[in-house]
Chain A
Amino acid sequence: MEKFTVHTGRAVPLRHSNVDTDQIIPAVYLKRVSRTGFEDGLFSAWRANDPEFVLNKPEFADGTVLIAGSDFGTGSSREHAVWALQDYGFKAVLAPRFADIFRGNSLKGGLLTVVLPLEVIERLWDMVETDPSTEVTVDLREREVRAPGIVEPFEIDDYTRWRLLEGLDDIALTLRDTKSIDDYEGRRKPWLPVTQ
C-alpha cells in the first residue's frame, strides 16, 4: 500500500447525501477479476446521463479530493468502489458521515476518508464552487484539513493513522504473531462446524 502523509490538490464538490456504492460503481463493472482499471466505472450512470454532473465539468477534471454529503458509501461492500475512486485519481474523500464497510475498505487501501462537520463541508462546497482552482490539503500527520480560511482538525485512531503513514499491509502485521492464532485455535469449542 502507498503511504499517505499529506496530500494537497483540487477538490470536487459532490452535493449529494446517501451516495451508495452502486452509484460509485455499478455491479456490471464488478465482473472483472483484475485489481486495477476501474476508473471507467466511477459514477458511470451519472457521468453518462447528466451533463451537469460535477465530474462532467471541465473545471473539476483534475480534482483529487472528493467532498461529499452525509452517508457516503452506503450499501454493497464492494471494495471496487474504493478502487474506482483511486483509479480515477482521488486520494481523499471528505464527508460528514461514511458507511462503515466503505470506510473500512478505504482505510485498508490507502484512500483517506475524513469525517468533517456538515457545516465545514458546506463551506468547502461553496468555496470550491466559487473558485474551482482552490486547493485543499488533507494532512494525516497533523490530523487536519486546510483550505483558505479553514483549518479543521479530524479524528482518526492512532493505529490506522500509523498504518497509513507507514503504508503497512494488515496481513503482514497479523502474520507477525501467528502463535496467538494457534493458541486461540487450541481453545475453540470442539463442536464448531467445519465445511469439509
Chain B
Amino acid sequence: MARTMAEKVWEEHVVRRAEGEPDLLYIDLHLVHEVTSPQAFEGLRLAGRPVRRPDLTIATEDHNVPTENVLGTIADSVSRTQIETLRKNASDFGIRLFPMGDIDQGIVHVVGPQLGLTQPGMTVVCGDSHTSTHGAFGALAFGIGTSQVEHVLATQTLPMSPFKTMAVTVNGTLKPGVTSKDIILAVIAKIGTGGGQGHVIEYRGEAIRSLSMEARMTICNMSIEAGARAGMIAPDETTFDYIKGRPHAPQGAAWDEAVAHWRDLRTDEDAEFDTEVVIDADELSPFVTWGTNPGQGAPLNEVVPDPASFDDPSERAAAEKALEYMDLAPGTPLREVGVDTVFLGSCTNGRIEDLRAAAEVIRGRTVADGVRMLVVPGSMKVKEQANAEGLGEVFTEAGAEWREAGCSMCLGMNPDQLTPGERSASTSNRNFEGRQGKGGRTHLVSPLVAAATAVRGTLSSPADL
C-alpha cells in the first residue's frame, strides 16, 4: 500500500504493536535542556532507574541562560539552581552536556542539526514543542512533556497514539524579499492555530524544494503553531549536502547506504493524505502578526483588521481581545506600527543564513533612534561563523547588541525580556500575551523585516528602505 513519509518513518520505529494499545516507538535521538528535564531526572532517581541510552541523549543549556557575561555567575538564584541541576543530572546519568561557554552550546534545535545528529528517517524528541524543527530533514520529530521525557530516558521508547497526515503544498516561486518565515506565517493564518491538530504535516511543492535546509527548518519549526504534532520535508540533495561531513554524519560506505535509505523515505506517488492545503508562493509577500496568537497575521501591506470583519464569533472575540492587549486600532496600516525593540534570533530564525540576510539589509545603516536591537545567535558555532564573516561588526556598527547564544527574548524566562507595554518585532515563533516578558507586545516577522524595522522604527520590509 502506498504510504506517506511520516507513515514510513513511524513503521520503521515500531518496537511493539498490540491490539488496543498505542504503538511503542523507538526514539533515535533525545535532546534535553534545563527547563523540562529536572522533574524527569528526579523521577528516575526516586524509582532507581538508569538512563537506558545516554549515547542517544544530548543536553544543552539554552532557555534560562543569560546572553551576556556567560562565563560569570547567573545572578538569578532560581535560574542558577536549574542550570546547576542539569549539570548534576548530566554528570550523574552520563549524558553529554554543552554548558554555557562551550563552543557547541546553543539552542537545542540549532545544536542537533549543526552536529549532524539530526538525520532523515530518525525519530527525534525533546521536552520542547519546537522539536518539530528537525522534521526539515525528513525526521519524525515531536515535542513532548516532562512525563514523556522521563519515559524516554528510562526506556528510549514512547507509546504514541496514531496521527493523521496533512500535505501543505507550496507551488510557484517566492518573490525576492519573501522568505520561508512568510510562508509559514501565511500557512498558520490560513489554517489557524488548531488547523493541524492531530496531524503530521508534510510540506511539499516547488517552493519548498527550492529552499535551503535552514529555511526549511524555519517552516517545520512553526508547525506546532498550526497545532500540528510534527512537520516534515522529504530529504533531497539539499538535505544530503547539508549533513555530509558534519561531526556525526555517516562516513564512507555507511554514507552511501544511508543516502540510499533516505531516498526511499519519500512519500509514495499515489499515497493519500487525510487533509490537503495548497498555497501559491507567487502570491505571498512579507507577513507580520497583529494579534496574540500566531494565526492572527496579515501581509505587511495591509492594515490592522477590524474584529467585526470576522464571521466566526469566537474569532471575533479573540481579535477584540488581541487588539486591546496589543493597543492597536482597526484600520491602522501595519507599516505605521512603531516598535521599541527588534529581536533577531531563536530556534526559528537564529541560524547563520538568518543573520546573513539581516546583516545584508542593515549593513551601512543604523538602528533607528529609540529602538534597541538584540541579535542573538542560535549557537556559539553560529556566532563564531558570523564573526568570521564580519557580521558581528555589521550589527554592532549599526548600533545593535551582539549577544551570546541562547533562547533569549523568545520566551521571557532569562534576563532578555520586554517591559510592560513595550512593543517588539521579533523573529521568534510566539506572540502570546506576555510571551517575551510581562505586558510585552510581540509582532512576529522574518529576519528581513526585522532588520528593515530596526532601521525605520516601524514595521517595514527592505523594499521600504
Contact = CB atoms under 8 A, between A and B. Distances in A.
B432 A184 contact: no
Interface in A173-192: 173-175, 177-178, 180-181, 183-185, 188-192
Interface of A: 16-18, 20, 22-23, 26-28, 30-35, 45, 69-71, 74-80, 82, 97, 99-101, 104-105, 108-109, 157-159, 170-171, 173-175, 177-178, 180-181, 183-185, 188-196
A180 B58 CA distance: 24
A35 B248 contact: no
Q: Which 9 A-B pairs have the closest CB atoms?
A: A105-B145, A79-B145, A33-B38, A27-B413, A191-B250, A191-B254, A108-B147, A193-B248, A71-B194
Nearest to A193: B248
Interface residues of B, number: 83
Contact of A195 (B15, B56, B81, B122): B56
Nearest to B44: A171
Contact of B257 (A34, A175, A191, A194): A191
Contact of B412 (A27, A34, A71, A82): A27
B369 interface: no
A103 B58 CA distance: 26
B346 to A, nearest CB: 13
B15 A184 contact: yes
Contacts of A189: 258, 261
Given A28-B412, A32-B78, A181 B155 contact: yes
Given A27-B63, A71-B194, A195-B56, 5 more contacts: A28-B438, A71-B227, A171-B47, A181-B156, A195-B54
B293 A170 contact: no
Contacts of A100: 197-198, 227, 229
B445 to A, nearest CB: 19
B193 A18 contact: yes
B39 A195 contact: no
A101 B144 contact: yes
Contacts of A97: 194, 197
A145 B57 CA distance: 42
A91 B38 CA distance: 24
B408 interface: no
A59 B116 CA distance: 56
B81 A33 contact: yes
Interface in B191-216: 193-194, 197-198
